[in-house]
């Protein structure tokens, strides 16, 4: 099978690998669509210490089961060849204190497909049966591949969204645009999206959001929410957006940090204390979040029009280059083997 292998900063190669074989409790999935995540772009640029070459990345995946093996090595009882599935790439142990407390996404022994084991930038990927969720065969594969990033957004919104309140989202990349759409489905009434790129703001506006560049933000907020914003979700994660979040949050408001742009940022924490602002970090998702994402996708609640592009797996090196240079008109590129 063909596989895209990360060999080091800005180095991807197309290689021929053996098709993996399913072991007990595993399935082989023929990949139909796999998205390029911003974290993988960071890995491609050499900014991710957890992605060690040579590595087949890829964790936002939809495909079809070609083989499934039960825990005893026999055919899996509840899975069949031909089932269309999405892959939850976060594998947890289910037995550590965090898993038993329901915080499976913070498992002490978590393994991530595409980081700790070969991912889906290939024609086939081997995954544990526990990582699969069946989706309708009629669901568009590219749309289905958005389940993983959408689950990230749902998890963040559960930490901070106030029904019928105002929401500000920093960043109109894939996570920002999916957060916008998930928030609409979770009761947000007025949403403002901030980004530096006019093209991305156009995508957000088409999805029903108010928009602003950082330079326009003060004037826009004086018009929409002069008392401050109830909830701010930072999908960028640089010092500027974190500081602006503290500046514009309302007293008693909630800030949720999702983006991982900078490791460290100086913040005015006395303002956070005196205004009783809640500050949360949000990481990945639970299985419940992932299942909710699938429900939104199968229910036709999420649009990928205009802001996603597709290309063949063999074109992955070019796609990564375009994304790294910031010259892509799309917030998300989805590969089709």
Q: What is the percent of the chain where pLDDT is above 70?
A: 100
Q: Is residue 10 predicted with pLDDT exceeding 90?
A: yes
Q: Which domain holds residue 268?
A: 150-281
Answer yes or no: do 68 and 171 share one domain.
no
Q: 132 and 6, same structural domain?
A: yes
Query: Looking at the structure, do residues 195 and 234 belong to the same domain, yes or no?
Result: yes
Same structural domain for residues 117 and 207? Answer: no
Query: Which range, of 49-58, 67-76, 200-209, 297-306, averages the lowest pLDDT?
Result: 67-76
Task: Look at residue 51 in the predicted model and tell me its pLDDT.
Answer: 94
Identify the CATH number of the domain in which residue 111 sits: 3.90.180.10
Indicate whether 68 and 184 sit together in one domain: no
The answer to whether residue 119 is domain-embedded is yes
Into how many domains does the chain fold?
A: 2
* Predicted confidence band of residue 261 (pLDDT cuts 50, 70, 90): confident
Tell whether the model's pLDDT for residue 75 goes beyond 80. Answer: no
**One domain, residues 15 and 71:** yes
Q: What pLDDT does residue 20 have? A: 97
- Whole-number pLDDT of residue 73: 75
Out of 12-16, 72-76, 114-118, least confident range = 72-76
Q: Mean of the pLDDT values across residues 93-109?
A: 96
Whole-structure pTM value: 0.96
**Do 122 and 185 fall within a single domain?**
no
Q: How confident is the model at residue 82 (pLDDT cuts 50, 70, 90)?
A: very high
Is 90 exceeded by the pLDDT of residue 327?
Answer: no
User: Is the residue at 299 inside a domain?
Assistant: no
Identify whether 238 is part of a domain. Answer: yes
Average the pLDDT over each of 86-95, 167-176, 220-229, 328-337 and give the range with the smallest value: 220-229
Shared domain check, 163 and 105: no
Q: What is the predicted pLDDT for the residue at 180?
A: 98
3-state secondary structure of 315: helix
- Quick one: 179 and 124 in the same domain? no
**Residues 111 and 190 placed together within one structural domain of the fold:** no
CATH number for the domain harbouring residue 240: 3.40.50.720
In a domain, 34, yes or no: yes
Residues 34, 131 within the same domain: yes
Residues 165 and 132 reside in one and the same domain: no
Q: DSSP string of 48-114?
A: -TT--SSB----EEEEEEEEEE-TTSSB-TT--TT-EEEE--EE--S-SHHHHTT-GGG-TT-EEBT
Question: What is the pLDDT, as a whole number, of residue 246?
Answer: 96
pLDDT digit string, tens, across residues 11-53: 999 999 999 999 999 999 999 999 999 999 999 999 888 999 9
Contacts of 172 (CB under 8 A, 6+ apart): 193, 194, 195, 197, 200, 201, 203, 204, 211, 331
Residue 296 lies in a domain: no
Picking from 195, 285, 278, the residue whose alpha carbon sits closest to that of residue 236 is 195
Q: Average pLDDT, whole number, for the chain?
A: 95
Would 288 be classed as within a structural domain? no
Instruction: Enter the tokens of residue 61.
Output: 């995946």
């Amino acid at each position: 099978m063909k596989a895209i292998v990360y060999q080091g900063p800005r180095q991807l190669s197309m290689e021929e690998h053996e098709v993996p074989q399913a072991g007990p409790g595993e399935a082989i999935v023929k990949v139909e669509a796999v998205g390029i995540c911003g974290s993988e772009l960071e890995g491609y640029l050499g900014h991710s210490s957890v992605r060690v070459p040579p590595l087949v990345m890829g964790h936002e995946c939809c495909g079809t089961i070609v083989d499934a093996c039960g825990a005893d090595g026999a055919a899996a009882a509840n899975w069949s060849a031909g089932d269309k599935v999405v892959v939850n790439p976060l594998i947890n142990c289910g037995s550590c204190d965090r898993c038993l407390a329901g915080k499976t996404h913070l498992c002490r022994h978590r393994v991530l497909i595409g980081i700790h084991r070969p991912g889906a930038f290939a024609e086939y990927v081997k995954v544990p049966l526990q990582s699969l969720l069946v989706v309708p065969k009629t669901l568009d594969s590219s749309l289905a591949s958005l389940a993983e990033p959408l689950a990230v957004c749902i998890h963040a919104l559960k930490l901070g969204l106030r029904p019928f309140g105002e929401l500000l989202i920093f960043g109109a990349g894939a996570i920002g645009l999916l957060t916008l759409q998930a928030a609409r489905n979770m009761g947000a009434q007025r949403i403002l999206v901030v980004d530096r790129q006019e093209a991305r703001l156009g995508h957000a506006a088409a999805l029903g959001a108010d928009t602003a560049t950082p330079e326009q933000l003060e004037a826009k907020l004086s018009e929409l929410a002069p008392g401050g914003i109830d909830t701010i979700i930072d999908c960028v994660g640089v010092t500027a957006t974190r500081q602006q979040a503290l500046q514009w949050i309302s007293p008693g408001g909630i800030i949720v940090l999702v983006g991982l742009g900078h490791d460290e940022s100086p913040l005015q924490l006395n303002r956070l204390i005196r205004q009783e602002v809640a500050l949360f970090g949000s990481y990945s998702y639970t299985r419940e979040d992932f299942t909710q994402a699938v429900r939104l996708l199968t229910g036709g609640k999420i649009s990928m029009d205009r802001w996603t592009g597709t290309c063949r797996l063999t074109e992955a090196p070019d796609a990564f280059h375009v994304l790294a240079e910031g010259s892509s008109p799309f917030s998300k590129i989805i590969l089709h083997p």
